[in-house]
C-alpha cells in the first residue's frame, strides 16, 4: 500500500536494511518526475551498510527518440535503469511525485518487473533519507577493542578483545574502558577495533598515537556503523599497518619486569682487592637495576664465598649468607657490609686457584624453597673455578666437604623456574668450563656488563626495547 | 761448600744427581722424617754440627713450616750416619757384618744445584749463578762424583712432562765421569764402578700416581697403617719407562739406555719416591683416593706448601740400599 509518510518510509527502509543479510542486496528504486535513481545497498565484511546510486533522467533513457516512440524500448530502458537484480534481493520502489504520467508509467512497469517489491510514497530528498537510515543502522556485529593481556600461566602477552559495543548498538552509544599503554615504537599504540565473525576477528579500523606510557581511561563512542571515536587520549591518526603487521609486532614478552622473581647473588670475595670490589659493584648494579624494574616483586638473597683453607689449624670462613629473600634495600645494606670487609681468605693456607663455589651452590640448593614457584635467578659473580669433589686431572685440591659442583648444578637446573647466570672475571672463551654451567643462561665478562641485557637474558626484565603495539587491558579497576 | 772436617770418619760418598727442581734437596730434608716414620730401628744423626743443624732446620721447615727448600745455589756436603738395628744372628751384609754393635752407614751427601748437571750451554731453571762449562762448581761436582761410589739420581716426571730435559742433565756429567774413570783405570768392565739409585720423584703427584695405577703397578704394604700406595722396586723400572712415554722431548727413554750403558745391571735400582708423600686426613688416618694431594699451591709469586703431615715414600730406601751395597763391597773410604 503506497504510504506518503516520510517517517513510515524511513522505518520501512530501516527494517529492510536491518533484514539485509551479509551477502544480500537491497535495491531502492526512486521514481521521480524527471527520472529514476537506483540505490544499491549491501553489507561489507564488517557488516556495515554500504550503498551506491545511479541516476538517469527520462531523456537519458529514451534519448532523441522520445518517450512514446517505442514503448517496449522505453519500458526496457526504465527497468534496466532500476539496476535491480531480477531474481535475488529485496527491491523497494519509492514513488516521489504523484501524478506525473511518465513517472506513473515507469512505476507501473517496475511493479510489473518486481512483483514482490514494496512500494512507498515519499517526499524528496530520498538520498538523504537513505543516508540517515544507513547511519542509524544498528550493529550487526559486536565491536571490540584489541587489547593485550598477560597470560596468567606464562606471563606472556596474548591478544584478546574487549567488547565496546554489542550487537544492535546504535550510534551515540558510549563505553568506557581502562587501558595501560607502554612504549610502543614509531607508530605509537594502536587502537584497533575488530568485529567478530566466525573464528577470526576482522579489522574494522585502526588509529594510533604515540602515548606516554601509563594508564588511560578511554571512552569509545559509536559515531556510526564502521566508525568509532576514542576520547580520553591525545589525537589519534590513521595507522598504515594492516592486521598481520600489527599482530606480528606483538613481542613475546611484556615490557618491564616480567613478574615476581627471587634474585640470588653470590659473590666471590677472595682474590685481589680491586677485583673483589668490582665484583661487588657489579652485584650492586644488577640488584639495583632489577629492583628498579620489578619493585617489590623482587626478593633478593646475597651470598659471599671465599677460598678453602687446607690447613686444619686455620679453620676456613664458610659461605656467608649476608641476606636471604629480603627486599632489595636490605640486600644492598648487606652488600655495603661486604664492601667494607673487602677481600678475604688470601694467602696460605687458602687455596689460590679455586674457590668455595661448590659450597655456595650447596647452600643455595639447601636454602631455596623447592615448593615455591617464584622464578629464582642465581647470579654468580667471580672468577675462580670450583674445587672438584675428588682428586681429578685438574689437580685442584678436592673440596674439603666433598661437594660436587656438577651434581649441585644439575639439581639447580632441574628446579622449576631456576635460571643460572654469571659474571665472570674472564671472558667466556677463557673462563673455566664450570662457569659455562654456572652461567648457563648468561655469562657476562666482569669488565663489561650490559646490565639490562644480562637482566633480560636471565628473565628478570624483557629485552629492550619492547614495543607493545596495542594497549594492555587494565583490570585493576 | 763447607770445610770438610776430616776426622777420619769412614763415610760412603753419595752424590745427589738431578735436574733443577727435581727434588734433591727436599729428599734430603725429608730423610729424617722418613726415618722416624719407619717402624724399624734405623735412625740418622749428623756427623758434625753443621750437618746436624741442617737436619734439624730442614725437618722443622718441612714439617712445621710446611715450606719446601729454596732452589740450591751452592754445593753442599752433609755428613750423616745411618744407624741401624743390631744385626741378627747372620750378618746383615754377609761375611763383613759383625754381630753385636748396630750397623752404621756413614753418608757424605753432596747436594748441588741442578743447573750444574746441565750441558752448560744454556741456562737451566733454578740456578741464577753462572754455571757454564767453566764454572768451578761444575769441576767440584765432577770431582765429587768421581770420588763417590753411590749416586742418587732423581728423575722428575713432572719436569719431564713440561721440559723433557732429564736426559740433558744426565748425559753431560755421565760422559765426563766416564772419561775420568777411564783415565784413572776404573772403567774396567766397560761400566762405571758406581751404584745408582734412580728415584722417580713426586710419586704423590696425581699424574704419576695415575700412571702407576693404570699400569697396575701399585701395591699396599699390609703393615702400613695409612695404606699408602707404593710401587715395589721391581716395578719401579716399568713405571719409569711408562713415564718416559709422555716426556716432552721424547728423550727420556735415552736415559734408560744411558743407565744400561754406563752402569752394571746389578748396580741399578729404581724407586718410586715421594719426599712429602700423600695427604692423609688426621681423623681417618687412611689414604683416600679421593683426596691425596699433599701440596697446596702458592699464590702467583709464592712457592707451593706442604698440606698435611709428611709421609715420605722410598726416601730412606735408596739411601739404605746404597749404604748397604757400598758397605758390603768395601769398607768406607776416608774422606780426603
Ligand atoms: N709433588 C711433589 N713435589 C715435590 C716433592 N719434592 C719437591 N717437590 C717440588 O719440587 C720443587 C723443587 O724441589 P727441590 O728439592 O728444591 O729440588 P732440587 O732438585 O733441590 O732443585 P735445585 O736445588 O734447583 O737443583 C719443590 O719446591 C717442590 O715444589 C715431592 O716429593 N712431591
Ligand atoms: Mg736443591
Residues contacting A473, CB < 8 A, separation 6+: A147, A148, A149, A160, A162, A177, A178, A179, A180
For A344, the grid coordinates are: 678475604
Mean pLDDT of all residues in A272-283: 96
- What percent of chain B lies above the pLDDT cut of 90? 29
What is the complex's ipTM, to 2 decimals? 0.80
pLDDT higher than 70, residue B98: no
Phi-psi sector, A290: left (phi>0), alpha (psi -120 to 50), beta: alpha
Mean pLDDT of chain A: 89
All structural domains of chain A, each given as residue ranges with its CATH number in brackets, are 6-135 (3.30.420), 143-256 (no CATH), 261-457 (3.40.50.410)
Atom of ligand 1 nearest to the CA of B72: 23
Q: Which of B206, B290, B292 sits opposite A393 (nearest CB)?
A: B206
pLDDT band with cut points at 50, 70 and 90 for residue A87:
low
DSSP state at residue A296: G
B92 located within any domain: no
pLDDT at A415: 92
pLDDT tens, position by position, A425-435: 999 899 999 99
Would the pTM count as exceeding 0.80? no
pLDDT of residue A255: 67
Q: Are strands A174-181 and A157-165 parallel, antiparallel or unpaired?
A: unpaired
Domain that holds residue B29: 6-86+98-120+129-327
Task: Please determine, for residue B106, whether its predicted confidence score (pLDDT) is greater than 60.
Answer: yes
Q: Span B188-200, mean pLDDT? A: 90
pLDDT at B266: 92
Task: With residue A435 as reference, give the H or E element that holds it.
Answer: helix A433-438
Distances (CA, A) of A309 to A82, A347, A351, A353, A426: 103, 10, 6, 12, 24
Q: Does pLDDT of B91 surpass 60?
A: no
- The pLDDT > 70 percentage for chain B reads 85
Q: What's the confidence (pLDDT) of residue A349?
A: 86
Asked if residue B274 has its Cβ within 6 Å of ligand 1, the reply is yes
Q: What is the pLDDT of residue A269?
A: 97
Query: Which of B29-33, B59-63, B137-141 comes out lowest in average pLDDT?
Result: B137-141
Q: Cβ of B282 and A310 within 8 Å?
A: no
R_g (Cα) of chain A, nearest Å = 38
Q: What is the pLDDT of residue B132?
A: 52
- Domain membership of residue B286 (yes or no) is yes
pLDDT score of A260 more than 80: yes
pLDDT of A4 above 60: no
pLDDT score of A406 more than 90: yes
Taking the Cβ of residue A398 and every Cβ of chain B, the question of whether any pair is shorter than 8 Å is answered with: yes
In a domain, B35, yes or no: yes
pLDDT of residue B131: 46
Q: What are phi and psi for residue A389, nearest 5 degrees?
A: -70, -30
Q: H/E element holding A198?
A: none
Domain count, chain B: 1
For residue A37, give the C-alpha cell. Answer: 535513481
> What is the percent of chain A where pLDDT is above 70?
95
Pairing mode, if any, of strands A261-268 and A35-43?
Answer: unpaired
The x, y and z cell numbers of residue A412, run together, are 639447580
The answer to whether the CB of A215 falls within 8 A of the CB of A178 is yes
Is the pLDDT at B244 greater than 70, yes or no? Answer: yes
- Is B91 inside a domain boundary? no
Considering only residues 300 to 359 of chain A, which have any Cβ-Cβ distance to chain B shorter than 8 Å?
Answer: 310-312, 346-349, 351-353
Q: Which residues of B296-326 are buried (b: 16+ CB within 10 A; e: fewer)?
A: bbbeeeeebbbbbbbbbbbbbbbbbbbbbbb
Residue A311 to residue B289, Cβ atoms within 8 A: no
Q: Is the pLDDT of residue B173 over 50?
A: yes
Inside any domain, residue B335: no
The residue in chain A having the minimum alpha-carbon distance to the alpha carbon of residue B289 is: A391
Q: How does residue A420 score in pLDDT terms, banded at 50, 70 and 90?
A: very high
The answer to which of A397-411, B128-142, B222-236, B263-277 has the lowest mean pLDDT is: B128-142
The predicted model gives B76-96 an average pLDDT of 68
Residues with CB under 5 A from ligand 2 (ion): B 24-25, 72
A79 has pLDDT over 80: yes
CA dihedral A286, A292, A296, A298 (to 10 degrees): -20
Q: How high is the mean pLDDT of chain B?
A: 82
Average pLDDT, integer, range A379-398: 93
Indicate yes or no: CB of B292 within 8 angstroms of CB of A353: no
User: By C-alpha distance, which of A276, A355, A274, A277 is closest to A316?
Assistant: A355
pLDDT band at A285 (very low <50, low <70, confident <90, very high): very high
Answer whether residue B100 shows pLDDT above 60. no
What distance in angstroms lies between residue A83's CA and the mean position of ligand 2's atoms? 117
A10-42 pLDDT, tens digit per residue, is 899 999 999 888 888 899 999 998 889 999 999
Give the CATH number of the domain where residue B80 resides: 3.40.50.300
CB neighbour burial string for A228-265, b if at least 16 within 10 angstroms, e if fewer: bebeebeebeebebeeeebbebebebbbbbbbebbbbb
The number of CA neighbours under 13 Å toward the Cβ of A381 is: 28
Quickly state the pLDDT bin for A364 (edges 50, 70, 90): very high
Amino acid at each position: 500500500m503506497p504510504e506518503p509518510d516520510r517517517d513510515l518510509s524511513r522505518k520501512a527502509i530501516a527494517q529492510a536494511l536491518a533484514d539485509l543479510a551479509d551477502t544480500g542486496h537491497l535495491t531502492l528504486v526512486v521514481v521521480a518526475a524527471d527520472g529514476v535513481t537506483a540505490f544499491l545497498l549491501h553489507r561489507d565484511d564488517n557488516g556495515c551498510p554500504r550503498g551506491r546510486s545511479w541516476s538517469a533522467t527520462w531523456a537519458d533513457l529514451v534519448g532523441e527518440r522520445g518517450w512514446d516512440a517505442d514503448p517496449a524500448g522505453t519500458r526496457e530502458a526504465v527497468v534496466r535503469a532500476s539496476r535491480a537484480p531480477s531474481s535475488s534481493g529485496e527491491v523497494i520502489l519509492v514513488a516521489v511525485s504523484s501524478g506525473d504520467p511518465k513517472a506513473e508509467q515507469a512505476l507501473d512497469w517496475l511493479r510489473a518487473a518486481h512483483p514482490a517489491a514494496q512500494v512507498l510514497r515519499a517526499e524528496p530528498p530520498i538520498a538523504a533519507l537513505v543516508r540517515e537510515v544507513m547511519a542509524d543502522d544498528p550493529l550487526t556485529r559486536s565491536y571490540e577493542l584489541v587489547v593485550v593481556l598477560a597470560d596468567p600461566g606464562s606471563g606472556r602477552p596474548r591478544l584478546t578483545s574487549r567488547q565496546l559495543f554489542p550487537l544492535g548498538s546504535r550510534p551515540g552509544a558510549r563505553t568506557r574502558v581502562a587501558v595501560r599503554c607502554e612504549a610502543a615504537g614509531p607508530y605509537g599504540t594502536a587502537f584497533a577495533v575488530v568485529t567478530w565473525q566466525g573464528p577470526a576477528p576482522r579489522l574494522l579500523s585502526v588509529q594510533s598515537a604515540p602515548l606516554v606510557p601509563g594508564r588511560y581511561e578511554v571512552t569509545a563512542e559509536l559515531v556510526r556503523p564502521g566508525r568509532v571515536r576514542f576520547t580520553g587520549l591525545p589525537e589519534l591518526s590513521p595507522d598504515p599497518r594492516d592486521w598481520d603487521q600489527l599482530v606480528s609486532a606483538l613481542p613475546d614478552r611484556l615490557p618491564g619486569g616480567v613478574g615476581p622473581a627471587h634474585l640470588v647473588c653470590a659473590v666471590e670475595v677472595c682474590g685481589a682487592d680491586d677485583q673483589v670490589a668490582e665484583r661487588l659493584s657489579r652485584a650492586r648494579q644488577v640488584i639495583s637495576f632489577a629492583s628498579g624494574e620489578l619493585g617489590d616483586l623482587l626478593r633478593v638473597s646475597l651470598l659471599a664465598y671465599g677460598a678453602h683453607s687446607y690447613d686444619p689449624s686455620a679453620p676456613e670462613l664458610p659461605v656467608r649468607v649476608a641476606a636471604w629473600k629480603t627486599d632489595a634495600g636490605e640486600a644492598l645494606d648487606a652488600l655495603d657490609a661486604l664492601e667494607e670487609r673487602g677481600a678475604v681468605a688470601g694467602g696460605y693456607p687458602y687455596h689460590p686457584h679455586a674457590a668455595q663455589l661448590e659450597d655456595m651452590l650447596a647452600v643455595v640448593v639447601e636454602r631455596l624453597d623447592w615448593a615455591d614457584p617464584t622464578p629464582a635467578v642465581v647470579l654468580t659473580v667471580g672468577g675462580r673455578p670450583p674445587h672438584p669433589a675428588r682428586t681429578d686431572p685438574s689437580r685442584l685440591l678436592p673440596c674439603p666437604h666433598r661437594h660436587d659442583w656438577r651434581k649441585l648444578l644439575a639439581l639447580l637446573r632441574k628446579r622449576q623456574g631456576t635460571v643460572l647466570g654469571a659474571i665472570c672475571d674472564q671472558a667466556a672463551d677463557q673462563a673455566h668450563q664450570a662457569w659455562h654451567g654456572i652461567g648457563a643462561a648468561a655469562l657476562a665478562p666482569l669488565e663489561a656488563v650490559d646490565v639490562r641485557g644480562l637482566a633480560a637474558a636471565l628473565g628478570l626484565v624483557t629485552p629492550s626495547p619492547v614495543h607493545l603495539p596495542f594497549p594492555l587491558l587494565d583490570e585493576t579497576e | 761448600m763447607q770445610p770438610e772436617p776430616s776426622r777420619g770418619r769412614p763415610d760412603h760418598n753419595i752424590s745427589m744427581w738431578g735436574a733443577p727442581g727435581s727434588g734433591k734437596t727436599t729428599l734430603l730434608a725429608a730423610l729424617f722424617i722418613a726415618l722416624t716414620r719407619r717402624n724399624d730401628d734405623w735412625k740418622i744423626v749428623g756427623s758434625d754440627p753443621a750437618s746436624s743443624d741442617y737436619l734439624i732446620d730442614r725437618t722443622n721447615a718441612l714439617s712445621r713450616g710446611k715450606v719446601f727448600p729454596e732452589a740450591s745455589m751452592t754445593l753442599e756436603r752433609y755428613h750423616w750416619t745411618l744407624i741401624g738395628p743390631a744385626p741378627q744372628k747372620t750378618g746383615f751384609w754377609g761375611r763383613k757384618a759383625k754381630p753385636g754393635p748396630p750397623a752404621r752407614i756413614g753418608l757424605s751427601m753432596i747436594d748441588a744445584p741442578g743447573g750444574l748437571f746441565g750441558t752448560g750451554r744454556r741456562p737451566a731453571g733454578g740456578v741464577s749463578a753462572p754455571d757454564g762449562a767453566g764454572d768451578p762448581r761444575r769441576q767440584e761436582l765432577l770431582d765429587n762424583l768421581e770420588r763417590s761410589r753411590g749416586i742418587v739420581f732423581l728423575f722428575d716426571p713432572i719436569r719431564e712432562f713440561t721440559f723433557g730435559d732429564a736426559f740433558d742433565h744426565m748425559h753431560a756429567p755421565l760422559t765426563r765421569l766416564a772419561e775420568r774413570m777411564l783415565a784413572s783405570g776404573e772403567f774396567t768392565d766397560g761400566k762405571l764402578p758406581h751404584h745408582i739409585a734412580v728415584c722417580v720423584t713426586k710419586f704423590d703427584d696425581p699424574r704419576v700416581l695415575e700412571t702407576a695405577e693404570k699400569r697396575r703397578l701399585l701395591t699396599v704394604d699390609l703393615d702400613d697403617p695409612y695404606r699408602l700406595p707404593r710401587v715395589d722396586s721391581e716395578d719401579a723400572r716399568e713405571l719409569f719407562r711408562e713415564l718416559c712415554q709422555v716426556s716432552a722431548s721424547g728423550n727420556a727413554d735415552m736415559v734408560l739406555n744411558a743407565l744400561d750403558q754406563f752402569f752394571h745391571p746389578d748396580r741399578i735400582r729404581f724407586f718410586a719416591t715421594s719426599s712429602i708423600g700423600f695427604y692423609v686426613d688426621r681423623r681417618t688416618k687412611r689414604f683416600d683416593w679421593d683426596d691425596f694431594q699433599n701440596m697446596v699451591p702458592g699464590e702467583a709469586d709464592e712457592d707451593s706448601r706442604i698440606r698435611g703431615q709428611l709421609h715420605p715414600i722410598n726416601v730412606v730406601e735408596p739411601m739404605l740400599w746404597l749404604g748397604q751395597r757400598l758397605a758390603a763391597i768395601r769398607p768406607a773410604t776416608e774422606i780426603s
